Structure formats: C-alpha cells, structure tokens
Structure 1
Amino acid sequence: MAVWAAAAGGTFLALAGLAVLGLLWPSTPGHRLIDWIADCLPKDGHGISLAAAFTTALVLTAGALALRLAIPRIIRTVRERREHRDMLDVVAGDLSGVPDVRVLEHPMPLVYCLPARERPIVVTTGALDRLEPAEVEAVLAHERAHLRQRHHLVLMLVDALQAAIPWLGTLRLAHTTLPGLLELAADDSAVRSHGKAPLVGALRKLAITSCSAGALAVNPATVQIAHLRVARLCSPQAVPLRNARPLSWIAIAAAVGVPAALATAGILMLPLPC
C-alpha cells in the first residue's frame, strides 16, 4: 500500500516537474512564462518561436483540463458525503454506550464508516441481530482502522488523480488496487486486537463496505471481496519474503526521491529571471 502511494506521488512529482520546466526553460526568446508575465512581449528584437508558444499553450491547457477533471470529482465526493451524513442525522439513532456508532433501522446486515466528526460508523439493526458481541467489536475495530488511518483521504486523492490523468496506467492500477489493499490493512488491524475468528465470523454474515471515495452504499462486488478476505484470513500464514521490508522502503524512496531530485535539479538550473 505504501509503495502504491509512493508510486502515485512520484508520478505526480514527475508530471509537475515536466510542466514547470516546459513553461520556464528558456529554449528560445520569449518562451519562458516568466518573460511573458514580466514583459508581455519580448523586447529583444527576436520573434517568438511558434513551436515554443505552442508548447507553452499546450502545457497550460493540459494543466487546466486536469484541474477541471479533478476538482469537480473532489467537490462531488465531499458533497455526497455531506448529504449522506445529513440523511443519517434524520433517520439513524445512537448506539447506547458506543460513542462513535449510530444505528440505522434496516433489515440488511450492513456495517460501514462515513468520515464525520460525530458517530462516523453506521451499523444496521439487521447486523446487530446477526452478530455476536465479539463479532461486533471486531467489525467496529475494522472500521475504526479505516478512519484512524485516513483511508478515505487516500481513496479520494487517488480517485481525483485518476480522473485528472486517466491515460496514465500507474494511476489506473492504483485506483483499482488500493481499495482492496486498504481493506486488508483494516483487517490486519482488527485481527491484532480481536483475533481472526470474530472477524471471519462477521464477514461471513455481513455485507461490509469500506470508506470509499464517495458516499457509502452497498457495492455489488462486496460479497466477492468479503469471500476473498475470509479466504486470506483462514489460509495458513505465508512465509514472508526475506528482506521484503527493506526492499519496499528502497522502492518507496526511489519512487518519490528520483523524480523529486530530477525536477529540483532541473529547476535549479534555470537562469534567474532578472
């Protein structure tokens, strides 16, 4: 999960660095955006290179289009979450003795979390009727792990980046891979505090959704994902690869450090505007 986040961050740094260098590198007179802003038109007697002007316009257009695709996606996600919270304020009640859980009267067994300041975890009455007390605690630990680790922010950021740059394979794969990895991370957190048996029992009884990018609802693929999670929890613990963690940290450092270093070096090579 950390490697995927580093890959997405390094990709963003690389694209931002290319955009900055493309706008500011003085390949021909009048090409640098700084020159255009300072002087409006070049005063050195040379004409503006048509290719340089086209490149500048292309980079600016691409950046504006990416923002036009990403920002509405974030706004829509935030609005859907707010509308969902407003709906729950009307139809859901509080769970006695548990300060961060609210109860929704519905026969469908469902547990999910919705980022909110008060009572961010929602449990239906159908879930409470089916689950044993230990299973309830395990499921709540799973949802609290989502909230504590800010998984909703990770998914919202990846969703916005994938919308802004849909042609980039790295972000497309991150968009489809990270939600499942976040589920596994929350499972591991719940297992550490409550053991495997209660969580496996709950997964076999419930349709459990996670902190998705937008407002939360029952996903048709939830049951299939739950089966995969149960199979993972019930399988014998795999032998970890030797040196896997150090290699992961090296990959993270390279994914973020290399594009950041190259972009910084390129920007430092730019001549001062005055």
Structure 2
Amino acid sequence: MLPATAAALAVLAALLAWPVPALLARARWPRRDPLVALVCWQAIGLAGGLSMIGALLVHGLAPWGHSLPEAAWSVLTGDAAEDPVRGDHWVTLTLAGVLAVELVGVLVLSWVRTARTRRRHRELLEVVVRPAAVPDARLLEHPAPVAFCIPGARPLLVLSSGIVAELDEAQLAAVVAHERAHLREHHHLYLLPFVAWEAALPVLPAAARAHAAVRTLVEMRADDVALRSLDGAAPRRTLAQAIVAAAGGGGGAEVPSGALAVAGGAVRARVVRLLEPPSPLPGWARWLALLAAGLLLLAPTALLLLPVL
C-alpha cells in the first residue's frame, strides 16, 4: 500500500463527487434507456462512497503494510507498524471510520424511517379505502386526481375517485400499469441510496442532483414498462394525457411521503419523451455503459485489495 493508492482513490472520489454526476445529469442519452442509466447511477454512488472511505483508510493504515489486507491483518493481530505512525495517519483513520458509520448509518436510518412512514400511511389508508373496480387497487374518496402506490411487503395501489372520474378507461389503465411497474420492479430500492446520500452529505451539490435524476429516471422507466401492456392506437398519447391530468389537478400534493405517484418526477420531460420518443440506445452503447459501470465498481475495489505494482 503506497501513497499513490490513496492519491488514486482520492482523485476517483473527487471525480465521482462532482464532475461525473454533473455530466451524467446533463447527458441526453439516459432518457433513451432509463434502466441502463439507473445502473450507472448506482455504480457512481457505490464507487464514490468506497473511494472516499478507501482513500482515508489506505493512508491511515499505510504504516502497517503494502496492501489493505496485509495492513488490516497486521492491525488485527497486533503487529507493530513497519513505518512510523504519524498524527495524520490517526486523523485519516478516524475520518474513515466516521464517514463509514455516517454513510451506512444514514442508509439504515433512511430505510427504517421510510418503512415506518409507509407502514403508517398504509394503515391509515386501509381504514378509508375500499376495493376499486380495477383488480388489486383501492379507491380513495377524494376529488383531486391522485394515483400512487406504497411499496413494501404489503404493497398498496390507490386511485382517488377524482382520477377515476377524470380519466377514460384507457387512460386509467395506463395509470394503473405505471404504478404496477413501480411495484413489480421495486423502484423504491433504486431511490433509497440517493435519499441517504443526500441526507448524509447535504453540502454536496451532486447528492441532490443525483437524487433528482434517479427519481426522474425511475418514473421514465415505469412509463416504458407501462407502455408494453397498453392497447389502443396511441398508448403514448394516452399515458401522457393521464400524467398531465394527474399533475394538473394538483394530485402530487396529496401523495403520502414515501409513495410513488404517476405525477411524480419531471412531468414535462416525461410528457415530451412520450410524445416525441427518442431513438432507443443501440445495443453496443448499452453494453458499453454497463461495462463502464462495472469497471467503475471494480476500480476502487482493485485499488483497495491489491498493492500498487
């Protein structure tokens, strides 16, 4: 383990903390394949956290060995350091521990809080909703056009009486298909790490940018999945009209915290994308993006586990 390893990890962490998320958030290709873009965002988040903690850990443990496994084993077995241990080594070790505990702790805390909030909303809704005409959905008496789902072990898909009255049969089917896509693909799990990242590092602009981008991509992905199950001459226009109706009626303000709603996440961009669909991402580009995401995860892992040759 050499200073070059810590420096390489620090450079990678800096790139993943600002310029890389900024470039991906501004790029136009993610709207062509939201699922691949979501994989890339997950890789950026994981690799960024690993690089930040790893850079501090590598520098702090440098006196004990030439690779992280060797140094960690020396510390655990109580072996003496091979080189003098300076104050900066103790400082970086402390910072690495604090950052690791904060990132993991905030992630766990966010999951617990979100799960508790969803459970509370589900229990309250189950008191006031009744079975809807749509299978596996519940009807909420409310004049605003609202449609949302609460994910979890006992998922709940809710339609308001306002949205049932507002939409025709095809549009309502599009809304239901969108919400079922959220539940089937567990989109709330894509969002959770970025909710935690934003909470743990509120001073980092990339955290808020990443959260917003992932939320939009999750909605675009649900739109794409919903379109596969829709019939009719113009399913894209049907879904776009349903989204506009839900957003225009102020339904977003009525959605419980932790729920996923059809009117959530960059409504204008989604409607434009539905009415003017971009060309699909070529197969080679999809595989190139997935390969980049894999290499991004592999880079800090390799730097941490292997000595610099």
Q: In which range does the TM-score fall when normalised by the shorter chain?
A: 0.7 to 0.9
1:57 matched to 2:97: no
> 1:256 corresponds to which residue?
294
Distance 1:223 1:182 in 2: 10
1:204 matched to 2:244: yes
> 1:180 corresponds to which residue?
216
One-letter amino acid matched to 1:148: R
Contact kept? 2:139, 2:159, Cα under 8 Å: yes
TM-score by length of 2: 0.70
* Secondary structure of 2:77's aligned partner: helix
CA, structure 1 residues 34+166, in 2 after alignment: closer, same or farther (shift >3 Å)?
Answer: farther
> 2:178 corresponds to which residue?
142
* Structure 1 unaligned regions, length at least 5: none
Contact kept? 2:56, 2:95, Cα under 8 Å: no
Aligned sequence identity (%): 29
Give the counterpart of 2:46 among 9, 23, 27: 9
Give the counterpart of 2:201 among 162, 165, 169: 165
CA, structure 1 residues 117+133, in 2 after alignment: closer, same or farther (shift >3 Å)?
Answer: farther
Distance 2:264 2:90 in 1: 54
Contact kept? 2:147, 2:159, Cα under 8 Å: yes
One-letter amino acid matched to 1:129: A
> 1:79 corresponds to which residue?
116
Contact kept? 1:110, 1:123, Cα under 8 Å: yes
Shift of 1:245: 4.1
Contact kept? 2:122, 2:150, Cα under 8 Å: yes
Contact kept? 1:7, 1:252, Cα under 8 Å: no
What's the C-alpha RMSD, in Å, of the aligned pairs?
A: 3.4
Give the counterpart of 1:104 among 135, 140, 151: 140
Shift of 1:18: 3.1
> 2:21 corresponds to which residue?
none
CA, structure 1 residues 247+119, in 2 after alignment: closer, same or farther (shift >3 Å)?
Answer: closer
One-letter amino acid matched to 2:298: A
> 2:259 corresponds to which residue?
216
Distance 1:258 1:146 in 2: 27
1:38 matched to 2:77: yes
* Secondary structure of 1:26's aligned partner: helix
Shift of 1:223: 8.3
Q: How many residues align?
A: 259
One-letter amino acid matched to 1:78: A
CA, structure 1 residues 213+180, in 2 after alignment: closer, same or farther (shift >3 Å)?
Answer: farther
1:193 matched to 2:229: yes
1:268 matched to 2:309: no
Question: Cα deviations across residues 39-89 of structure 1 (Å, max 9, x unaligned)?
Answer: 3x8499x86432322222222222223334433222221111111111112
Moved more, 80-89 or 193-202: 193-202
Shift of 1:218: 8.2
1:132 matched to 2:168: yes
One-letter amino acid matched to 2:41: W
Contact kept? 1:77, 1:213, Cα under 8 Å: no
Bigger radius of gyration among the two: 1
* Secondary structure of 1:71's aligned partner: helix
Question: Cα deviations across residues 207-228 of structure 1 (Å, max 9, x unaligned)?
Answer: 365xx99423889xx5893344
Distance 2:293 2:91 in 1: 31
Contact kept? 2:57, 2:92, Cα under 8 Å: no
CA, structure 1 residues 238+182, in 2 after alignment: closer, same or farther (shift >3 Å)?
Answer: same
* Structure 2 unaligned regions, length at least 5: 1-36, 66-70
